[in-house]
Chain A
């Protein structure tokens, strides 16, 4: 697409066929026309986009209800064009349980950060999975509290400098990084548990596949599906987006290895 055409048709970009051009991509209806407020380089935008693309492709926009947490993604409902509820900090899966129980044939997902899901909401996380609630939990693990300005998360790495561990995280004082996905695998209610990342295109493709599977399992009422996305936080980590990718590969992923942790037993 040449620049002139782009400028002339900016308003209609992606929404109508342009003469002489094939429309290969447009914003799905599941995403609102609101620019993401996330910091440049942050994984949230990518995960939002992929999640909404999957809902669009599966044609389940009208049947899906999402739950946004407290954290950077508190405003997820501004971007996700599906019915949504904003939950109190840590309580997203209790809210999702309430929704799913009274709307048993709808699709319900929670979208939560590490503070929400693995610290203040640990009880809800464990018991929701233990009940095998038919929901999808999307867990963004970036090892830091982004929204409040870079404090230690339950998943922060040993030695990681944050605003509340200014000399690095010490296990003797504040414990070790918690591998919540691994813990959840022990529960019979967990049907599908996987850990993905979105810092490269291969990862994005894999996440998309995982999301499709999770919604399919939810349709079959198989139990809880849990997708962790190891993500980055340029602002909280005090790094450039490019530096965060190096940190992800060299520090985060060795601690939180990617791949399926629990797959359906046939």
Chain B
């Protein structure tokens, strides 16, 4: 079979999942461990197909017996200093939560990918953003945080593999790429990151075999003395504070906006169209798209609460990120929500209609 390898960074048409997998090869990951689940199975299929065709590619690709095993293989490999990742979709990510908590607690760098499907339960294989809470507020047990990146295009599905590993290795923290079934499955133009351009951060703490010039390295999250456990927690909280500077967001026509849409991932793509439709009608709508969901752009939203009449959060869930938007604006402006669930996707017109009806109700109330 012919490999899809090209060294140069030319534009290609690719599926989100495949662009992500190709970026992983180009990020020179040491290992990928995963288990098939729709709608992200193309990631492991692409890797098992492509890696053996690449000259000098030593990446380990292993289909594990479960997501539980995958995430613990990630733990072992990350603890041994490897650049390692896994990918899955919602129910599989739920199964991984114990392992993710251990990885966060042992402060191991790795990349996790959740191509979200509609839930709860077995749910559906269609796109959803129903895992926002799980991704940004914990998911597993204890006080830990993941850095959460939310791609909104096939380009970002690929780019955030590189960004994810950079952040993971910088902070010794797991990073989660949170997309959805549509971003995973759809094809778009993508310019892939250049192979070999991602430097590896040294890991002197890793279990690579105790040499004579150092004590034995131990990867653990167990500290039986409360005082010690609290200190470990305090150090982690300090680290999370220092991560706040990594906050990223995109603003579209926000400068003169009177009404602000807030949406991430696929929803933000739909909202872009809404902004255009609204502007055509002379309604000054802007869009703020959080790119990092943790850290969250609280400060910028707070600033914008002095400018806009109201905010409308658009999500493919029952209203999860909207809670963070409300926290950010501290009651200064009304924060509304609209969304669909179960794999359903809002149309730009539906969102525009919602803006108009909120605006109308405010105007009526003022009379």
Contact = CB atoms under 8 A, between A and B. Distances in A.
Q: Are A and B interaction partners?
A: yes
B208 A94 contact: no
A97 B76 CA distance: 7
B211 A62 contact: yes
Interface in B66-104: 66, 68-70, 72-82, 84, 98-99, 102
Contact of B65 (A87, A101, A127): A127
A64 B208 CA distance: 8
Contacts of A87: 72, 75-76
Contacts of A124: 65, 68-69, 72
A99 to B, nearest CB: 4
B222 to A, nearest CB: 6
A77 B220 CA distance: 9
Q: Report the contact-size class of chain B (Cβ under 8 Å from the partner).
A: 35 or more
A101 B217 contact: no
A83 B217 contact: yes
A126 to B, nearest CB: 8
Contact of A123 (B31, B69, B218): B69
Contacts, number: 129
B346 interface: no
A123 B220 CA distance: 23
B30 interface: yes
B153 to A, nearest CB: 31
A79 B79 CA distance: 19
Interface residues of A, number: 34
Contact of A98 (B72, B106, B216, B218): B72
Contact of A86 (B210, B211, B221): B221
Nearest to A126: B65
A77 B98 CA distance: 21
Contacts of B76: 67, 85, 87, 94-99
Contacts of A95: 72-73, 75-76, 79
B219 interface: yes
Given A84-B219, A123-B69, A65 B207 contact: yes
B264 interface: no
Contacts of B72: 87-88, 91, 94-95, 98, 124
Interface in B88-128: 98-99, 102, 106
A77 B76 CA distance: 15
B218 A63 contact: no
A125 B79 CA distance: 20
A151 interface: no
A16 to B, nearest CB: 19
Contacts of B68: 91, 94, 123-124
B199 interface: no
B27 to A, nearest CB: 15
Contacts of B82: 98, 102
B118 to A, nearest CB: 27
A82 B65 CA distance: 29
B62 interface: yes
B209 A77 contact: no
A101 B77 contact: yes
B207 to A, nearest CB: 4
Interface string A54-83: 000000011111011000001101001111
B218 A101 contact: no
Contacts of B73: 94-95, 97-98, 101
Which of B72, B106, B212 neighbours the largest number of chain A CB atoms within 10 Å of its CB?
A: B72
B51 interface: no
Contact of A84 (B78, B98, B218): B218
B203 to A, nearest CB: 11
A106 interface: yes
A123 B221 CA distance: 23
Interface in B193-238: 207-212, 216-222
B64 interface: yes
A75 B223 CA distance: 10
Contacts of B30: 102
A103 interface: yes
B60 A88 contact: no
A62 B66 CA distance: 32
Given A83-B217, A86-B220, A97-B73, A102 B80 contact: yes
25 contacts: A32-B216, A64-B209, A77-B218, A77-B220, A80-B216, A82-B210, A83-B208, A84-B217, A85-B218, A85-B219, A86-B219, A86-B220, A94-B64, A96-B76, A97-B69, A98-B31, A98-B80, A99-B76, A102-B31, A102-B77, A103-B80, A123-B65, A123-B68, A124-B68, A127-B69
Shortest 7 CB-CB contacts between residues of A and residues of B: A98-B76, A94-B72, A83-B207, A95-B76, A98-B73, A86-B220, A98-B77
Interface of B: 30-31, 33, 60, 62, 64-66, 68-70, 72-82, 84, 98-99, 102, 106, 207-212, 216-222
